Chain A
Amino acid sequence: MSATTAAFDTARPRWRATRGSHILLAISTLAVALIVALLLFPGVFAPYAPDTNDVQHTFSPPSSTHYLGTDQLGRDVFSRLVYGARYSVTTGLVATAIAVVAGSLVGLTAAAGSRLADALIMRLTDVWMAFPEVLLALLVIALIGTGSTQIAVAIGVAAVPYYGRLVRGQALAVTKAEYVEAAKILGVPAWRYVLRHVLPNVGGPVVVLASLGTGSAIAAAAGLSLLGLGPLPPTPEWGVMLAEGQTYLANAWWIAVFPGLAIVVVVLISTMLGRSLQARSLR
């Protein structure tokens, strides 16, 4: 008596999406905890020191003694990656922190200021965003010089307008939101509804963007180091390792490939964290 008919449909059950985002959030939080542990106690994870030369074992491929192989000086690639996280990840985090703080100031000034100030700041961010991020960072480095700190500042400065626009847009949308109006109707004073409704609702998306942005900031920092603008060899910074390893790509691929893989993993973790936070806030 039965027949099943089907047609394509894109409606997805809600609970599945929600459960998925919970799992994603749990995994990415664990991964972030692991990275923090790496940053604080690299010695616990790395079997060798990052700068110990071993002329007997240069260019050995990945094995059980050297998980990711050794480089041209016989240094253990895995240990260098673990210690290198201190340079690469920290640079990305500092850059994002600079962008968030400066961007929030810019965005809030535009949202709260006069119509003229708002228009001026918006045109400024338009111009700012017209420059590709990498090139703008290069310009900043040309002005302030090379090095890890300089890279962090350069990447942070290049990312400011994105946070500025987000904060301004959110601040304006939330200020006009009916729930803020509802608080006003109840006679809640301005300072209190800003604290209670506006700031938390503006902050949420900024946290999401910062989480997504940290990954690309780390990748950008590695890219600038690859160009030789960051720390100098023998620093185990991932971009520096990439640049060094590229010379030996023909016979020892692992020296250059694994630092890049480390960047990809970190970017994926930051994307996962950002996406799962976003999914939670949209629910």
Chain B
Amino acid sequence: MTLVEVAGLEVSFGHEPPVVHDISFTIEDGECLALVGESGSGKSVTARTLLGLAGERARVRARTLRVGGADARNFSHRDWQRLRGKSVGMVLQDALVSLDPLRRIEDEVAESIRLHQRDSTRAERHQRVLEVLTEVGVPEPELRSQQYPHQLSGGLRQRALIASAVATRPDLVIADEPTTALDVLVQHQILRLLEEIKEQGRGLLLISHDLAVVAKLADRIAVMLDGRIVETGPTERIVGSPEHPYTRTLLDIARGRRAQRPPYTGGQTLLDVDGVTKDFGERRAVAGVSLTLRAGETVGLVGESGSGKSTLARMVMGLTEPDEGRILLRGQPWSGTPERARRAQRRHIQLIQQDPQAAFDPRHTVGRIIAEALPGQRGARRRARVTDLLATVGLDAHLARRRPHQLSGGQRQRVAIARALAPQPEVLICDEPVSALDVSVQAQVLDLLSELQQRLGIALLFITHDLTVVEQTSDRLLIMKDGEIVEEGLTKAAFEDPQHPYTNALLQAAPRLPGSPTAPKGELR
């Protein structure tokens, strides 16, 4: 049965140009279609249009718009309300904010049953909630159904959200970035669950920015760019022989196939972290970590959230003092020295953060932000140096007059890099430098960092949760779990022959495409 049939769909807001442009697709039962694109490509608007949720000011036009067997073009509010949650269920990203924090899991899961099966009794609904929670793999459903979202882990919350979408056994499930906010191991489990939902004979519309995530699950892929579908076809065809250059770019990024780095030859040790430990009350955030960083070298430090990697970064930056152990910078004592002594050394080590917006004074222009890193330079000389630095990171000089909030995410991160380079540091610490950016922008920023490193011979420490980022950039790899380093070695060796079971699990769970430099060896269940 055809669940969704869309032809010539166009969505616009107010009098602005359309954000979705003449797109057509169908979804059959038991089939998974994936809409892949970056932010602003129109993929989420398209998904919401299928539920009449594109927005108050949205103008929707289509030659054909059939959802659940009915012509939805002239649907009233009431028609949409009857369709939502009954024949179509929807799963959004990050269940912490996608489930009402003030209501019990049971109330959220039962909501669509109560709305669409009005004659159901309380006991029947409770029974069905337990059933569906069990189906999506929530252990102890009796207990969990009486809890609130904040009492569940990220993975359980996402399962509960999926349960709320499938409680009425809808024919079609729309999942909008269902795994984006999750750690890699949990992401793998949720993808397995979505696969089961598809195997039950339901249609699945999967929205994602990540080709590697959808490739395992989707039967067909439609690649979206600027509101248009630029390429569509069976998954094997899209992954195997892409036709559109944008699809190829996305695939290359997902496979980590980028410019080859010359092998690292070695230099003097710039940063020496020796057995540092940091406790916060009862909790040991960092437990006896040692690492070294040499000139011209890139080291990747990988860990999931809560692994202690950000605390380590703060100690390396001299913002937090270690409780035990010591840190040397360029052979000089760095940790445990007074700030007055440290200030003169600070220009040698710089930091790039995940969210550059927060790292800029909102009142200052880009020019002033960069100039702050150039003490002692005035007037025309300083302006020329700012222009220089902007050019180094590939930005036009006129951006110096803008304020941070007027820039795109990628531009902001480039400004952050320019500011970090201004004092000509020898060590650059990058804490999740690209995780807030779109994938193609991520690739550009990573390329920029690699290129700068080779040109300037800086030592880079990459702190990230994303193995792909490390694989593409790092000479050596450290894996951190619960405050300790569990794996250490050359990147290539660690990927091919992981020593620690945790590394192995991370590698297996990371979604990757056939043809990646290091393809998975076995299946993780």
Contacts and interface: CB of A to CB of B under 8 A. Distances in A.
The answer to whether A and B touch in the complex, with CB atoms under 8 Å apart, is yes
Interface of A: 1-11, 13, 177-179, 181-189, 196-197, 200-201, 204, 283
Contacts of A6: 56, 58, 77
B317 A1 contact: no
A5 B346 CA distance: 58
Contacts of A4: 59-61
B82 interface: no
Contact of A9 (B56, B375, B419): B56
B77 A7 contact: yes
B259 interface: no
Contact of B372 (A11, A13, A186, A283): A186
Q: Which 9 A-B pairs have the closest CB atoms?
A: A3-B73, A9-B56, A187-B346, A9-B55, A2-B61, A178-B358, A178-B359, A179-B361, A187-B343
A13 B15 CA distance: 12
B349 to A, nearest CB: 8
10 contacts: A1-B63, A5-B58, A5-B60, A7-B56, A7-B80, A178-B358, A179-B361, A181-B319, A187-B345, A188-B375
A2 B73 CA distance: 8
Nearest to A6: B56
Nearest to B318: A185
Given A181-B319, A186-B372, A201-B363, A5 B423 contact: no
B114 interface: no
A1 B61 contact: yes
Given A5-B75, A7-B55, A187 B63 contact: no
Nearest to B75: A5
B347 A187 contact: yes
B344 interface: yes
B350 interface: yes
B350 A185 contact: yes
A282 to B, nearest CB: 10
B358 A3 contact: no
Contacts of B72: 5
B361 A186 contact: no
A7 B360 contact: no
Nearest to A180: B361
A188 B344 CA distance: 9
Interface string B332-364: 000000000001111100110101001111110
Contacts of B353: 178, 182
Nearest to B354: A178
B341 to A, nearest CB: 11
Contact of A7 (B54, B344, B350, B355): B54
Interface string B60-72: 1111010000001
B52 A7 contact: yes
A144 B346 CA distance: 55
Contacts of B405: 283
Residue of A177, A179, A196 most packed against chain B (CB within 10 A):
A179
Contact of B360 (A10, A182, A185, A186): A182
A5 B59 CA distance: 7
A181 B8 CA distance: 51
